[in-house]
Structure 1
Amino acid sequence: MKKEPSAMRGMLWMILISILLFWLPFFGPLIAGFVGGKKAGSVGSAILAVFLPAILIGIFLFFFGTVLSGIPGLGFVAGLGGFMLALTGIGPLLIGAIIGGALAE
């Protein structure tokens, strides 16, 4: 019985494989993106699975920074910094996800 592809499954696979293959500088995220893209089932879902964790981390850091400091402006800067930091490692992951999503269709 085959499971239905979804962006959430692809995202979880990308996170798990990225953690396991952290020691491969370019090929680790590329492989993680490829597998996650195949699990996502389409290119659109694969792209969503790549960017959704970065967006969620940025939102979490915004609220967490605001709660800790009590200053919404500081929370915004912390969230934006976390979002940009999360986006720095997305290049090979995105390439792999697009290839995996295209092959899954």
Structure 2
Amino acid sequence: MFTGCPPAAGPFRVGDKWTAKIIRCLEQGPRRFTELQTPLRTITPKVLTESLRAMERDGLLTRTAYDEIPPRVVYELTDLGRSLLEPMNAGCEWSRRHLAELMDARDAWHASTP
């Protein structure tokens, strides 16, 4: 167990399938739900809604509903959500630098596994 970091305090949202992708979609500014669906075309509306709610709960984004007809809802990264961009960029850079090594290791593992 990590001292000073209870299990519930870990950044579990960042490691799920959609959070990082949603953060990337909101990196350039606020977007409506339908504007998120286009780049995230493989996510179902239900799962997108659940992911957005969980991210809002965790303080990574804000949801602003406008009293209009039809209703308009906009999602935007908070400062906390934006603070994840730097480590995400570092992870992407690491992946770019080491992709060939990773692929070689996978190929070697598959070749040696019956």
Structure number with higher strand proportion: 2
Structure number with higher helix proportion: 1
CA radius of gyration, larger in: 2
Q: Relative contact order: is structure 1 or structure 2 higher (C-alpha 8 Å, sep ≥ 6)?
A: 1
